[in-house]
Structure 1
Amino acid sequence: MSLHRQLQQRAAEGRPVRVGLIGAGKFGSMYLAQVPRTPGVHLAGIADLSPDGARANLARVGWPAERSAARSLDDALAQGTTHVGDDWQALVRHPAIDVVVECTGHPIAAVDHCLEAFAHGKHVVNVTVEADAFCGPLLARKAAEAGVVYSMAFGDQPAMICDLVDWARTCGFPVVAAGRGHKWLPHFCDSTPETVWGHYGLTPEQAARGGLNPKMFNSFLDGSKPAIESTAVANATGLAVPAEGLRYPPGSIADIPYLTRPRAEGGVLDKKGMVEVISSLRPDGTPIDYDIRMGVWVTVEAETDYIKHCFEEYNAHTDDTGRYFSLYKRWHLIGLEVGMSVASVALRREATGVATGWHADVVATAKRDLKPGDLLDGEGGYTVWGKLQPATRSVHMGGLPLGLAHDVKVIRPVARGTCLTWADVAIDTHTPAYRIRREMETALSPAD
């Protein structure tokens, strides 16, 4: 039975999937816009550091005020309405909640939320992929030990890439490469919140008018977010990562099967079976027509002449050998699609992407020469960007994961372009996020 039919059945039986949302910002608001239109789902509670801001976002997406007026979570459950507050612990501990959607975008807090949810028997859809990037393999293990499902969020590109990879493998195709698109030029890795709008083609006034967060947007532009998302994909699918980080080959959708094949065959890959990101800009900065900037793709190989001939007969767009074919989705709808994950984990107990091993990592890398006393400001900021690395290399160097490079003091000089290590910083060792990362380094052996 389809997920939608199952949700309709749950609605008819008066047994909706009961959801708790932590974080009602932009991503969370997009999910909130869809909840009233989804049968068999009851968003019982929202926890946000600013309940008034959450209510304002509810109004923005079209919720009537009475729908979120419940004075307590128990009232909301009894009335079929939604409680809005700031107590995330009460939300994840309530016995009636089935699924927690972690949507804060704060990786250290997200780890706390996930672990507490597991401890109280809740499935988790983790939108905060930054947390998954530095400790997802161990979060997945802890969820399994607790008997619950931990999942990446459909609508975000990593889960959608995982879906394409699963499609390919289920159909019997070997996956040659998979990934997403991005607007990229090499100097973007030095971008800061002060320079981001020029690269995006917006004025600071336009950005302010739209309420756009320059640090968040810069985390995409400077390569941190593509590295984070590629790490999540590699750890979920077992695909390898480039030895020297993402290459961002420029190309249109038509170019993907040419670019995403081994170098020995004219492509950019070290070998078959890797993650990569395709740039929508030529090296001179001009845009490429029919780009994959906002989408995802997978490249597969025809292993026999018969399959190759089938590609030809059905006009599949391949490379010039006819062996490599790329399937793609040109767009993703972010939080508007999270309902797929909520339904999947609640009804089928299946994740829409989850780490199955430790293959990749994102290491904080200096944007400028850093000196003792400098304070790291995390992804998208002024001090570091995230570089995709094989997990074995990261562990060997003692690399500082980007997700933990927030409000951390530098204690020795680090040259621009250098990956930071644990020894370069003074870090709070008492947070659950730090402890689970170090536990992962001990408990899980990175896979080549």
Structure 2
Amino acid sequence: MNLAAKLRKRADEGRPVRVGLIGAGKFGTMFLSQVRTTPGLHLYGIADLSPDRARAALTAAGWDAEAAIVPGFDKARGSGGVALTDDPEALIRADGLDVVIDATGNPAAGIRHALLAAENGRHIVMVNVEADVLAGPYLAQKFVRAGLVYSMAYGDQPALVCEMVDWARTCGFRVVAAGKGTKYLPAYHASTPDTVWDHYGLDSERARLAGMNPQMFNSFLDGTKSAIEMAAIANGTGLKAPRDGLTFPPAGARELASVLRPKADGGVLDGPGMVEVVSSLKRDGSNVPDDLRWGVYVVFEPEGPGAAGDYARRCFGEYGVSTDPEGRVAALWRPSHLIGLELGVSVASAALRGEPTGCPTGFRGDVASCAKTALVAGDTLDGEGGRTVWGKLMPAEDSLAQGALPIGLAHGVRLKRSVAEGAILTWDDVEAPDSEAFKVRREMEAAFRPG
């Protein structure tokens, strides 16, 4: 790693990397707390629908907001101050900007911002994994053609897992499985914003006073966010999505190598090279010892047959690496991730190395809309984390064959016909939205459809 040295050089030369942040929510605020103390990075501007919220985010992250905020992008470029705007397009087009961060969480907005960034010669760090899974493979190709970087966000699980997969392959290992941990029970798929706080053990009024969005938190609980993140990893690494969706096996960190191996070898996977999420809860609701709820992992094995593979396996034992009972498959993990506090790694890598910290290289995993309950013609879908649908991971080829409705476009659309509980919704079930995101998604499907 030499990014810190490269950033320091840019700081010494008076040429900091100029960063524009779109979205001053939790992830964005975490980045604000660290960009302030990172030599070589300059926060050029923040775009948020509420400039007051952006101002509050700066203050919460330790800035003297009144001293830092300047009127207009010219002042921000010349004085080192920070410009605020409610117009993301103005920020993207601002003269001198190097890197755009989209931390909105809105897939349609993320697609729009990415297209504008590519058009205006800006690298983009896509915190917005919803947009990445909806159209990331298509967007990434546009950035490659423009000679720019389209990057996943370091600190979030997909980029961290992509890094671990790359590490394993660089070492000559074969990746058996990779993914993250979460809190999961099968009943959570039916959870709604009305019931979510019961599962978290929170009082709804306390959650409201804390500014916690029930639909967003429900996406983490009902399996949708896990599916989105695993689809991003599949698209970025070439690992496969399970054909019947994530199974969320209960597993502690020391059990990863035993549980996350093919069924033929005593594990739970359909085959090697899969993404999967492990649960911190057993199916009876009790806690898994040594759980990985906040962490990420990679399971791997030596590629070489015979003596070469046997030697590497002996080394696993000699150096205390966690393995399956036979010592054939090993696991490494990271017990936690720091979200936006680590985001500067992506910004620096894009601007100084011209490399992403994870990027879609194909359309391999998709997240389809699955009915939480029986739906009838005329119902309006409320999207990720809502009352009507949850997101189910599936191979992209299966999604394309079924004409599945992606979860990223399942908000605010009306049903043309009734759908049974548990059914995968299709394009034929809904009135197609007239939006840029819809058109981009359909273009991507056409581009990546087999044959």
TM-score, normalized by length of structure 1? 0.98
Quick one: distance in 2 between partners of 1:69 and 1:387? 43
SS at match of 2:57: helix
- 1:299 aligns with 299
Distance 1:171 1:446 in 2: 32
Match of 2:419 among 414, 420, 423: 414
SS of the residue aligned with 1:63? coil
Tell me, yes or no, if structure 1 residue 169 matches structure 2 residue 169. Answer: yes
Q: Is the 8 A contact 1:68 1:84 kept in 2?
A: no
Deviation larger for 1-10 or 151-160: 1-10
Q: Secondary structure at the match of 2:96?
A: coil
Q: What is the TM-score of this pair, normalised by structure 2?
A: 0.97
1:432 equivalent among 425, 432, 436: 436
Opposite residue 91 of structure 1, the aligned amino acid is L
Q: For residue 210 of structure 1, report the CA deviation from its aligned partner.
A: 2.0
Equivalent residue, structure 2, for 1:222: 222
**Residue 256 of structure 1 aligns to which amino acid in structure 2?**
L
RMSD (CA atoms)? 1.1
Unaligned runs of 5+ in 2: 304-308
| Separation in structure 2 between the aligned mates of residue 67 and residue 268 of structure 1, nearest angstrom | 56
The answer as to whether partners of 1:22 and 1:100 remain within 8 angstroms in 2 is yes
- Mapped partners of 1:259, 1:176: distance in 2: 11
Distance verdict in 2 for CA 1:204–1:160, change over 3 Å: same
| Number of positions where the alignment pairs a residue of Structure 1 with one of Structure 2 | 446
Q: 2:402 aligns with which of 394, 397, 410?
A: 397
Question: 2-side partners of 1:423 and 1:35: how far apart?
Answer: 46
CA distance in 2, matches of 1:405, 1:37: 40
Residue 263 (structure 2) aligns with: 263
Aligned to 2:343: 338
- Which of residues 366, 375, 383 in structure 2 aligns to 1:361? 366
CA contact (8 A) 1:7 1:40 kept: yes
Pairing 1:241–2:238 present: no
Tell me which of 324, 331, 341 is aligned to 2:329. 324
Equivalent residue runs for 1:187-206 within 5 Å: 187-206=187-206
1:208: which partner in 2? 208
Please tell me whether residue 380 in structure 1 is matched to residue 375 in structure 2: no
Letter in 2 for 1:352: T
Deviations 1:57-104 (A, max 9, x none): 111111102343211011111110100111111111123000000011
CA distance in 2, matches of 1:167, 1:368: 42
CA shift, 1:427, in A, is: 2.3
Superposition deviation, residue 206 in structure 1: 2.7
Which residue of 2 is the match for residue 155 of structure 1? Answer: 155
Instruction: Specify the SS of the correspondent of 1:174.
Output: strand
Query: 1:208 is matched by which residue type in structure 2?
Result: R
Q: State the match for 2:275 in structure 1.
A: 275
Could you tell me which amino acid in structure 2 is paired with residue 203 of structure 1?
A: D
Q: What is the rounded CA distance, in whole Å, between the counterparts of 1:335 and 1:309 in structure 2? A: 38
- AA at the equivalent of 1:407: G
Partner of 2:306: none
Please state whether the residue corresponding to 1:175 is helix, strand or coil. Answer: strand
Alignment check: 8 A CA contact 2:20 2:97 kept = yes
1:298 aligns to what SS in structure 2?
Answer: strand
> Which residue type is aligned with residue 341 of structure 1?
S
1:245-297 CA distances to partner (integer Å, 9 max, x unpaired)? 00100011111101110001110111100000000000101111211111000
Give the secondary structure class of the aligned counterpart of 2:251.
coil
Offset at residue 446 of structure 1 (A): 5.4
**Could you tell me which amino acid in structure 2 is paired with residue 415 of structure 1?**
A
> What amino acid maps onto 2:235 in structure 1?
N
Describe the SS at the equivalent of 2:313.
helix
- What letter corresponds to residue 441 of structure 2 in structure 1? R
Runs in 1 of length 4+ with deviation above 3 angstroms? none
State the percentage of identical aligned residues: 56
Tell me, in whole angstroms, the C-alpha distance in 1 between the residues paired with 2:450 and 2:49: 36
Corresponding residue for 1:31?
31
Q: Distance in 1 between matches of 2:141 and 2:78?
A: 34
1:4-49 CA distance string (max 9 Å, x none): 0000000000000001111111110010111111010111111100
The 8 Å contact of residues 366 and 385 in structure 1, kept in 2 or not, is answered as yes
Partner of 1:312: 317
Give the partner amino acid of 2:384: E
In 1, distance between residues paired with 2:63 and 2:180? 33
